[in-house]
Amino acid sequence: MGKVRAQALGMGLVCVLGSTGCAIETPDEVLGPDAVEEETRQTEQKAVIQISTLAQLRAMSPSGDYELSGNINASATQTTPFVPIGTSSTPFTGSFNGKGYKISNLRIAGNRHYAGLFGYAYAADIQDVKLENVSLTNSASYYYSGALAGYLGSSTVYYVEVSNSTISGGGYTGGLVGLAGSGSYVVGTNGSSVQVSGASYVGGLFGHLTSSSLINSHTSGGSVSGGDSVGGLVGRGSGGGVSYSSATQVNVSGTSNTGGLVGLANSSGIYYSSVSGQVNGGARTGGAVGQITDATSVYTTATNMTISGATDTGGVVGLALRTDISQSSVSGVINGGNHTGGIVGRISGSQAKRAVLTYSFIDDRASGAISTVQGGTPVGMAVGTAGEYVDLTRSYAIGRVSGATTKIGGFVGEINAPGLTEVGNEPRAYVNEIFTKVEVLPTFDNSNNNVYAGGLVGKMLGGDVQNINIAGLVRGRHFVGGAIGHTTNTGANVTPSLVRSLLTRGEVTNVATPQRSGVLGGATGVFGRCTGLYWDSTTDTGTAPPLDPDESPSCQLGKSSNELKAPARVNLGPDYPNGNFLLFIYGAQITRAIQQAQGRPECTIGSGSDGDFGFGFCNGVDGLYDPPVWVLNSSSEYNTLVNVPNPHRQPK
């Protein structure tokens, strides 16, 4: 076919020019269908421009599509800084594919809003580029600073790295991006040895992540510092979430809402992520998150942490409001002010949404791990303060908790859930299936003559505690308990506290001043009401009060229950329709019977309904257990057992 001269007429038609004039034909009649398809593809797709020099990088258009064809050494920008591509009025809307190549020694012009390789990008696609030795200095009065971009909106970022760089700015400052706006999707971003500083919303990778997802992104080494909302990965997250990401050997410091991963998270979940390093902050400081609100769940590991904060300091979360914390763990040293806990400093829910801590732990038995918690009032090995509408379940704490405090607990420093309104049949605060092996060691001075200390809870105002296993050492002054230092059953606005099915082991010491009377409890100190307690202490602390056969036995136990006999009949009251499950204190004979029948020396009696019933606590891995209820047949010897459901066990 010879050369064809054609002219487009519109409406899908062309004019083929010949010797006789213009013949109207369709494009495929002129060029063939394959040629038309290729021509259409080239028309619909913008040409991709290759970049291999700094001059070409400077000349990028906000609407172009670009690819790197080699590494670029941008050292010339040290004298003539690079001007960011895209502004708020003319954003970068194209694509940029680094093809795995590197841009190094880039100095980005500061003293402007929206500073980065891309100043302002919207609906852009940026991927596969490495930024090394980037320098960006913005004064505190300028917002949105990051090595890659100052601002991203509705954009995608894949596999971008920044290393050995220094980024400073005002608000919304990140090692990679200042702010990733609604609809942005970020996967596989990494930072290494990046120094980031700013005023507020400052993060190792992202200053602010709003309604956007951060997936499989990591940072290591370097430092992040600022004022409010400072995080090793993200300063503030609003909506969206962080998943499968980590911050390793980070050094994060802020004045409020400071976290090793995220400083402040609102409706932003954190899933399967980890952190190690050092976090220093003021109010609301956490190993992973400073403050988290209305989040669905947190699956976070904080390892070998050194954490220092003020009010609301926690090994994983400083302050958790209406949030589920699940399968999270921490090891390290935590020092804080009031409301300090090894896992979470303070946790609280609402009638609309309870807060939950479950399947989580702080443990000092890992190789080289040290787990200690020191704080003000209250302080707990796992939780500093638990407020209303909180569930603390299936978790454990191992280590040491201390401080010049008045409320200190092996798991919770204080449960403060007096409660005026219940949601359904749920208690204001619910604690179930907890194991602790903690040294509870407050320090004493003239400011804390009364120290509420307990192997589980220091002071308890309302709530329901059951199925607890405690080992360790408790030291306190005036109000001391192997399980709970002090609870209350009085007050017009206080729902009575309830404790049942509880085993404590260990040593309890009341260091009372001579002028004060010491109240020492084997299971509890001063208490409201309790059932199903078992006290097996290595220390004889006094004389147990007599048991009234028609009333609940006193919760102020002084001797091992091996020396006590339960009454033949007890009045369980309206709270216990299934009386054969929730019972009182038993002597050595029934304890030995359970042990012999099961062949499990770790099984001990927690409770029973009369002389023939028993509740067996059988410890599993690391002291965590899923207790069955073993009912002794009243007509047989003690070695006949029947396994029955536990009506109070929470479903897995």
> Could you give the CA distance from residue 591 to residue 604 in angstroms, rounded to a whole number?
6
The token duo for 310 is: 């003020």
The token duo for 555 is: 């919760």
Percent of the chain with pLDDT over 70: 65
- Band (pLDDT 50/70/90 cuts) for residue 471 is confident
| pLDDT over 60 at 529, yes or no | no
pLDDT given at position 196: 99
CA distances to 77, 481, 624 from 269, rounded to whole Å, are 40, 37, 27
The residue type found at 39 is E
DSSP-derived secondary structure for 279-292: EE-SEEEESSEEEE
Contact status, residue 86 vs residue 56, Cβ threshold 8 Å? no
Average pLDDT value for residue range 465-491: 74
Instruction: Quickly name the fold that domain 49-281 has.
Output: Pectate Lyase C-like (2.160.20)
- DSSP 8-class letter at 217: -
- DSSP 8-class letter at 174: E
| pLDDT over 80 at 180, yes or no | yes
Contact status, residue 498 vs residue 468, Cβ threshold 8 Å? no
Provide the whole-model pTM.
0.77
> Could you give the CA distance from residue 289 to residue 241 in angstroms, rounded to a whole number?
12
> Could you give the CA distance from residue 338 to residue 491 in angstroms, rounded to a whole number?
25
pLDDT given at position 131: 99
> For the chain, which residues make up each domain, given as ranges?
6-44, 49-281, 290-564, 578-644
Percent of the chain with pLDDT over 90: 51
Higher per-residue pLDDT: 81 or 620? 81
| pLDDT over 70 at 458, yes or no | yes
- Band (pLDDT 50/70/90 cuts) for residue 508 is low
The token duo for 222 is: 């370097």
| pLDDT over 90 at 493, yes or no | no
Residue ranges in 568-640 assigned as alpha helix (H): 588-598
Contact status, residue 149 vs residue 177, Cβ threshold 8 Å? yes
Q: Which residue is it, tokens 């852009």?
A: 124
| pLDDT over 80 at 585, yes or no | no
Instruction: For CA atoms 441, 334, 354, 652, give the dihedral sign.
Output: negative
Higher per-residue pLDDT: 39 or 81? 81
* Model pLDDT for residues 135-165, shown as the tens digit of each residue: 999 988 899 999 999 999 999 999 999 999 9
Q: Is 194 helix (H, G, I), strand (E, B) or coil?
A: coil
pLDDT given at position 432: 87
Higher per-residue pLDDT: 531 or 131? 131
Contact status, residue 112 vs residue 146, Cβ threshold 8 Å? no
Q: Is 65 helix (H, G, I), strand (E, B) or coil?
A: strand
User: Per the omega criterion (within 30 degrees of 0), is the bond before 378 cis?
Assistant: yes
- Band (pLDDT 50/70/90 cuts) for residue 453 is confident
DSSP-derived secondary structure for 600-651: -TTEEE---SSTT---EEE--GGG-----EEEEPTTS-TT-EEEE--TTPPP
| pLDDT over 90 at 125, yes or no | yes
DSSP-derived secondary structure for 329-350: EEEEEEE-SSSEESSEEEEE--
Residue ranges in 544-636 assigned as alpha helix (H): 588-598
* Model pLDDT for residues 223-248, shown as the tens digit of each residue: 999 999 999 999 999 998 999 999 99
Contact status, residue 404 vs residue 448, Cβ threshold 8 Å? yes
Average pLDDT value for residue range 169-195: 96
Give the number of other Cβ atoms within 10 Å of residue 420's Cβ: 10
Q: Which residue is it, tokens 């009386």?
A: 579
Give the number of other Cβ atoms within 10 Å of residue 633's Cβ: 13
Range scoring the smallest mean pLDDT among 444-448, 470-474, 596-600: 596-600
> Could you give the CA distance from residue 524 to residue 519 in angstroms, rounded to a whole number?
9
**Max avg pLDDT among 337-351, 511-525, 606-620:** 337-351
Nearest to 619, CA basis, from 597, 602, 643, 596: 602
Instruction: Quickly name the fold that domain 290-564 has.
Output: Pectate Lyase C-like (2.160.20)
**Chain mean pLDDT for the chain:** 75
Range scoring the smallest mean pLDDT among 115-124, 309-318, 467-476, 522-531: 522-531
> Could you give the CA distance from residue 627 to residue 608 in angstroms, rounded to a whole number?
14
pLDDT given at position 14: 43
Run of H or E residues at 248: strand 246-253
- DSSP 8-class letter at 623: G
Q: Where are the beta strands (DSSP E) in 360-518?
A: 361-362, 371-374, 379-380, 383-386, 390-403, 407-409, 412-416, 429-442, 451-454, 457-461, 464-476, 478-481, 484-487, 498-510
Query: What values do phi and psi take at 351, rounded to 5?
Result: -60, -35
Q: Is 428 helix (H, G, I), strand (E, B) or coil?
A: coil
Contact status, residue 606 vs residue 612, Cβ threshold 8 Å? no
For 254, counting Cβ atoms within 10 Å of its Cβ (0-12 exposed, 13-18 middle, 19+ buried), the class is buried
- 290-564 has the same fold as 49-281: yes
* Model pLDDT for residues 409-434, shown as the tens digit of each residue: 999 999 998 764 555 556 678 898 88
The token duo for 230 is: 């400072």
On the CB side of 502, CA atoms within 13 Å amount to 28
Average pLDDT value for residue range 251-278: 97
Q: What is the largest CA-CA distance in the chain?
A: 124
Range scoring the smallest mean pLDDT among 438-447, 521-530, 536-545: 536-545
The residue type found at 347 is I
Q: How far is CA 262 from the centre of its chain?
A: 9
pLDDT given at position 265: 97
